[in-house]
Structure 1
């Protein structure tokens, strides 16, 4: 070895001889203090770590935009303007949704006008009046039962009905509009008004049409259906003709025809049959009959509806 290394070892040996070793109790106390210091330092580190984790978790759950709630003021300020009305909740705006019923309820049938009862009598206002005549009308005369028969068609009993409630007859004469006051009538007009039970009025019209159809040429007469008149609920115009006769009751011999007209008008449960018979050897006028039928329909409607 070199001289320097030998001197270093010699110095170290001298220092060791001069140093005094600490007693065993002191050495143990110093070791305990070092161990406690390390334990306290470890516990402090754990507390710091737990605190950091808790604060971090709160920040994550709160989100970056959520602020801390503001402090509650000591006293509420007085408002000088009304606050806006709060928006209604969706449940208040939206209508309540009804639960459909499991049982279907059928709507009540529409109301229909009641059919008038069978009257005890037929008033004068239900019949044709003098003002309804196509010319100068005379005063109507009420006929007794059995004084006038309905038109006959080959013995067909269309007029014999068990559903007939009431019947009345009237006779009215009228002259031409330009005829002198003392002239003979232009025509004699019988009007029969009948009120039926149930659907008897409709059945009467059906039977009348069938009777005319089934009786086209009785004896020297000829029955012709001229179709509806466009009056009331339904109507029918019938023409009956035969070779013309003179006032003495002999054939005219000129090929002319003598005509009478029957019109039947139904309004609800009532029927008016107007018989325009002419006068003696003079024929009835079809235009006059149609005029009378229209007026009879109006009178019947005003009474029964």
Structure 2
């Protein structure tokens, strides 16, 4: 061994001999203290980390979401994705029936139509004021006698204007001619009627009346079969929307039922105003004939009263 190495060993022995090793209790106590110190440092580190996390989340919540800038003008809005919610509640449209097909019951579907229906706002009842009043000079003092009965003469069994009637009302009105004595019997009698037709059917009623008169120029008188009554249309205008005027003509009969010379003539005028028709049928009184001037004047009174009511 060299001298240098021997001197180093000798110095190391001197240092070791001077240091006293601590006892086992001191060594254990020191180790426990160092362990507690490391645990405390770890706990502090964890607590600090938790506090920092909570503080950061509060700052984020307080700041709120960052506002989104609106899309530039002209940019179409995004279309939401399709959804099936509510499809079960949405009713399916009713299947349409093609023209010319038949329904399950085997009948062809009828197309809606306004033909034959009452006009909106049209009257459905006829009051007394719809009928005209006679002037005092022509009033026979009998008043109106409303009731059922024929409103037209017999025309070979035809019944013109009886279809599509909404309402009808008729009266019998005796009258006297101007200048007749107050105690004299009536000069004649009117059968005056007013009939409301369904929309557009009043014109058809007057057309049927014209046809019926033309188709029945002559017929036996029911109560005297050997006597013939004749009907013919007369020209007419200036009453209502349109009018039909015709006469009935039959020979005067004596007590034995034989012609006595001359004819008993009565006039019938039907006037249409819209969907309403008024008929003035002069029937005479005890074989009197119609006086045309009186009949025309009372026809105008009937039309004027009808218009006042309808207006």
Q: TM-score, normalised by structure 1?
A: 0.57
Contact 2:139–2:176 at 8 Å: present in 1 too?
Answer: yes
Of structures 1 and 2, the larger Rg is shown by 1
Match of 1:215 in 2: 216
Change (3 A) 1:252 1:136: farther
1:152: Cα distance to partner? 2.0
**Could you tell me which of 130, 135, 140 is aligned with 2:138?**
135
Match of 2:248 in 1: 240
Contact 1:222–1:240 at 8 Å: present in 2 too?
Answer: yes
Change (3 A) 1:224 1:198: same
Once the two structures are superposed, residues 119-173 of structure 1 have per-residue CA deviations (whole angstroms, 9 ceiling, x without a partner) of 3421111112122x873343432422x3334222111121321x11000011111
RMSD: 2.1
**Could you tell me which of 281, 292, 303 is aligned with 1:286?**
292
Change (3 A) 1:249 1:239: farther
SS in 1 for 2:185: coil
Q: Which runs of 5+ in 2 are unaligned?
A: 1-117, 221-227
SS in 2 for 1:271: strand
Determine the C-alpha separation between the residues in 1 that align with 2:209 and 2:260: 32
Change (3 A) 1:232 1:303: same
Once the two structures are superposed, residues 222-252 of structure 1 have per-residue CA deviations (whole angstroms, 9 ceiling, x without a partner) of 1011122311000121110011124x46334
1:197: Cα distance to partner? 0.8
Determine the C-alpha separation between the residues in 2 that align with 1:116 and 1:122: 16
Is residue 2:132 matched to residue 1:117?
Answer: no
Change (3 A) 1:136 1:229: farther
Determine the C-alpha separation between the residues in 1 that align with 2:134 and 2:293: 17
Change (3 A) 1:194 1:266: same
Question: What aligned pairs does 1:69-218 form with structure 2 within 5 A after superposition?
Answer: 115=119, 117-131=121-135, 135-144=138-147, 146-161=148-163, 163-218=164-219
Determine the C-alpha separation between the residues in 2 that align with 1:183 and 1:153: 33
Count how many residue pairs are aligned between Structure 1 and Structure 2: 187
1:192: Cα distance to partner? 0.7
Determine the C-alpha separation between the residues in 2 that align with 1:186 and 1:206: 32
Determine the C-alpha separation between the residues in 2 that align with 1:134 and 1:231: 23
Match of 2:260 in 1: 253
Change (3 A) 1:233 1:209: same
The more displaced of 180-189 and 122-131 is 122-131
Once the two structures are superposed, residues 62-86 of structure 1 have per-residue CA deviations (whole angstroms, 9 ceiling, x without a partner) of xxxxxxxxxxxxxxxxxxxxxxxxx
Question: What aligned pairs does 1:266-277 form with structure 2 within 5 A after superposition?
Answer: 266-277=272-283
Once the two structures are superposed, residues 85-135 of structure 1 have per-residue CA deviations (whole angstroms, 9 ceiling, x without a partner) of xxxxxxxxxxxxxxxxxxxxxxxxxxxxx955343421111112122x873
Match of 2:239 in 1: 231
Match of 1:298 in 2: 304
Q: TM-score, normalised by structure 2?
A: 0.56
SS in 2 for 1:212: helix
> Which segments of structure 1 move beyond 4 Å, counting only runs of 4 or more?
none
Determine the C-alpha separation between the residues in 1 that align with 2:202 and 2:308: 17
Determine the C-alpha separation between the residues in 1 that align with 2:187 and 2:258: 21
